[in-house]
């Protein structure tokens, strides 16, 4: 059911404005979420009182900034139930986390003739890096197909796992369709053949409690900005046994133990993968975003979003010529649709003029749109601060835009 959201909404100043003379409705949360005051104020507080580089100084500010920085690592570890804090590596986002694994893994473990298995539903950030390393290493990328419902073909997946498969990379939740994939089952099937699995969790962590030990994934990637935190910050969870075997992704300060003119020895995990000065202020603020989600609680969050999504689909389905994409039995986060033959950009532009933000296009998932033979969709995605009034405004806007464009 819907939560009493006024106390939550007032924590997000960007929502308290008018756009084109109308109260703002923000339904583009799958692209990025808005930020609560606690996160915004944390960034200001850091620069006002604690700004210093981390790990490298004995003076007060350096010690204090290091403490705040590492507190976020501890909080994230507990948040996803990682076994050790050293398995939490800070990156610039999901994209960099995946690139880190793709390039380091390919350098150490891929040889000509090997195969990488991903799904045909992946966001480009979990497709392009693997295609790039495949070209460099002369290996093959294979794609697990999906059904018209937006669900993966699990029988095909099991058949495609082979002695040539070196790694599996798959999304936890589809950003284009909202499908929640059975990742635990898929991980287990891969592990039965001693194949490691990377999970792109960018669209999962904001909506559900993720337990990496329960999933038993080898790598899990996500971004702060999709979970009410700052942009430019992400996490790579990697099992320690893997991260110790992988070579560094980037070289520079902090990731070394010692450097001489003859030899380099690398730092321990996680610092081996955190070259250079990190985005300290935003990583500290990320800890506040995690705290915000913990205070809301995932049971409350999931119930609220489920109510809004089901209501949105039900009301949109009453509009003649509506076409819904992604009808999986288990969904999260998004409603993806078209109306008749109206181009999504045209309808999205009109909806914007009514003070409502939705995403239009192929959502960095072009193969998904090619499968359905469409140019893209309109995508409405909900967050903790959305209300039934937002859903009703969207539905009325779609009706009005349809009348204008038909």
Q: Does 233 share its domain with 339? A: no
Q: Does 85 share its domain with 210? A: yes
CA distance 304 to 311: 11
Position 212 in a domain:
yes
Domain count for the chain, please give it.
2
Of the residues 217, 221, 312, 364, only one is catalytic, namely 364
pLDDT digits (tens, 9 = 90+) for 108-121: 999 999 999 999 99
Supply the DSSP string of 135-154, one letter for each residue.
Answer: HHHT-EEEEE-B-TTS-B-H
134 close to 103: Cβ distance less than 8 angstroms? no
Three-state DSSP at 169 gives strand
Domain harbouring 375, CATH code = 3.90.1150.10
Active site residue 221: no
CA distance 360 to 28: 10
pLDDT at 6 over 90: no
Position 304 in a domain:
yes
Domain of residue 308: give its range: 6-30+297-405
Position 1 in a domain:
no
The pLDDT score that the predictor gives to residue 20 is 95
Mean pLDDT of 240-269: 92
Of 308, 78, 289, 299, nearest in space to 208 by CA: 299
Instruction: Give this prediction's pTM.
Output: 0.96
The pLDDT score that the predictor gives to residue 333 is 83
Residue 8 CA, distance from chain mean position: 22
Task: Measure CA of the first residue to CA of the last residue in the chain; give whole Å.
Answer: 35
Domain harbouring 275, CATH code = 3.40.640.10
Q: Does 170 share its domain with 90? A: yes
Which segment of 81-85, 131-135, 256-260 scores lowest on mean pLDDT?
256-260
pLDDT digits (tens, 9 = 90+) for 279-307: 999 999 999 999 999 999 999 999 999 99
Position 14 in a domain:
yes
Phi-psi map region of 326: left, alpha, beta (phi>0 left; psi -120 to 50 alpha)? left
pLDDT at 264 over 80: yes
Q: Does 287 share its domain with 305? A: no
Of 357, 321, 389, nearest in space to 29 by CA: 357
Residue 160 CA, distance from chain mean position: 26
Q: Does 137 share its domain with 259? A: yes
Bond before 400 cis per omega within 30 degrees: no
Of 373, 347, 342, nearest in space to 360 by CA: 347
Three-state DSSP at 324 gives strand
pLDDT digits (tens, 9 = 90+) for 11-43: 999 999 999 999 999 999 999 999 999 999 999
Show the CA angle centred on residue 197, arms to residues 154 and 283, nearest 5°: 125
Q: Does 217 share its domain with 271? A: yes
Q: For residue 380, give the H/E element and its range.
A: strand 377-381
Residue 89 CA, distance from chain mean position: 15
CA distance 123 to 126: 6
The pLDDT score that the predictor gives to residue 288 is 98
The pLDDT score that the predictor gives to residue 1 is 59
Q: Does 312 share its domain with 288? A: no
- Final residue in a domain of this structure, among 294, 317, 334: 294
pLDDT at 172 over 60: yes
- Final residue in a domain of this structure, among 261, 294, 327: 294
pLDDT at 379 over 60: yes
Percent with pLDDT over 70 in the chain: 99
Cross-strand bridge partners of residue 32? none
The pLDDT score that the predictor gives to residue 5 is 65
pLDDT digits (tens, 9 = 90+) for 205-252: 999 999 999 999 999 999 999 999 999 999 999 999 999 999 999 999
Helices assigned H by DSSP within 80-218:
94-109, 128-137, 154-160, 183-191, 212-215
Q: Does 14 share its domain with 111? A: no
Mean pLDDT of 147-154: 96
- Final residue in a domain of this structure, among 253, 279, 294: 294
CA distance 80 to 220: 10
The pLDDT score that the predictor gives to residue 229 is 98
pLDDT at 3 over 80: no
Position 35 in a domain:
no
Three-state DSSP at 374 gives coil
Q: Does 192 share its domain with 285? A: yes
Which segment of 46-50, 200-204, 332-336 scores lowest on mean pLDDT?
332-336
The pLDDT score that the predictor gives to residue 7 is 83
330 burial (CB, 10 Å; 0-12 / 13-18 / 19+) is exposed
Calculate the average pLDDT of the chain.
96
Q: Does 331 share its domain with 363? A: yes
Which segment of 5-9, 150-154, 205-209 scores lowest on mean pLDDT?
5-9
Phi-psi map region of 368: left, alpha, beta (phi>0 left; psi -120 to 50 alpha)? alpha
Q: 5 or 47: which carries more pLDDT confidence?
A: 47
Position 361 in a domain:
yes
The pLDDT score that the predictor gives to residue 2 is 63
Q: Does 250 share its domain with 381? A: no
Q: Does 285 share its domain with 331? A: no
Q: Name the pLDDT band for 364 (thresholds 50, 70, 90).
A: very high
């Amino acid at each position: 059911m819907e939560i009493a959201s006024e106390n939550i909404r007032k924590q997000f100043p960007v929502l308290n404005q008018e756009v084109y003379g109308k109260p703002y409705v923000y339904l583009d949360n799958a692209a990025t979420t808005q930020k609560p005051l606690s996160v915004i104020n944390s960034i200001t507080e850091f620069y006002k009182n604690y700004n210093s580089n981390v790990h490298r100084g004995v003076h007060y500010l350096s010690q204090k900034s290091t403490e705040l920085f590492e507190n976020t690592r501890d909080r994230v570890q507990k948040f996803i139930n990682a076994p050790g804090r050293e398995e939490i590596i800070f990156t610039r986002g999901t994209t960099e986390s995946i690139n880190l694994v793709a390039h380091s893994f390919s350098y150490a473990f891929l040889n000509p003739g090997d195969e990488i298995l991903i799904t045909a539903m992946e966001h480009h950030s979990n497709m392009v890096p693997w295609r790039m390393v495949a070209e460099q290493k002369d290996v093959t990328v294979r794609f697990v197909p999906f059904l018209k419902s937006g669900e993966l073909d699990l029988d095909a997946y099991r058949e495609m796992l082979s002695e040539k498969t070196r790694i599996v990379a798959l999304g936890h939740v589809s950003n284009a369709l909202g499908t929640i994939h059975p990742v635990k089952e898929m991980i287990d099937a891969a592990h039965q053949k001693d194949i490691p699995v990377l999970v792109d969790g960018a669209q999962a962590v904001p909506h559900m409690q993720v337990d990496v030990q329960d999933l038993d994934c080898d790598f899990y990637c996500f971004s702060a900005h999709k979970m009410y935190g700052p942009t430019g910050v992400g996490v790579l969870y990697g099992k320690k046994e893997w991260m110790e075997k992988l070579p560094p992704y980037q070289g520079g300060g902090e990731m070394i133990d010692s450097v001489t003119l003859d030899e380099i020895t690398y730092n321990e995990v996680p610092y081996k993968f955190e070259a250079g000065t990190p985005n300290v202020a935003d990583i500290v603020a990320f800890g506040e975003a995690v705290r915000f989600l913990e205070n809301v609680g995932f049971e409350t969050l999931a119930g609220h979003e489920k109510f809004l999504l089901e209501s949105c689909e039900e009301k949109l389905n009453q509009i003649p010529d509506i076409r819904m994409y992604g009808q999986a039995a288990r969904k999260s986060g998004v409603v993806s649709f078209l109306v008749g033959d109206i181009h999504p950009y045209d309808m999205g532009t009109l909806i914007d003029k009514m003070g409502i933000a939705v995403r239009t296009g192929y959502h960095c998932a072009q193969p998904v749109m090619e499968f359905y033979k469409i140019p893209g969709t309109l995508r409405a995605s909900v967050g903790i601060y959305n209300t039934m009034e937002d859903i009703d405004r969207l539905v009325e806007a779609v009706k009005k835009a349809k009348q204008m464009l038909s």
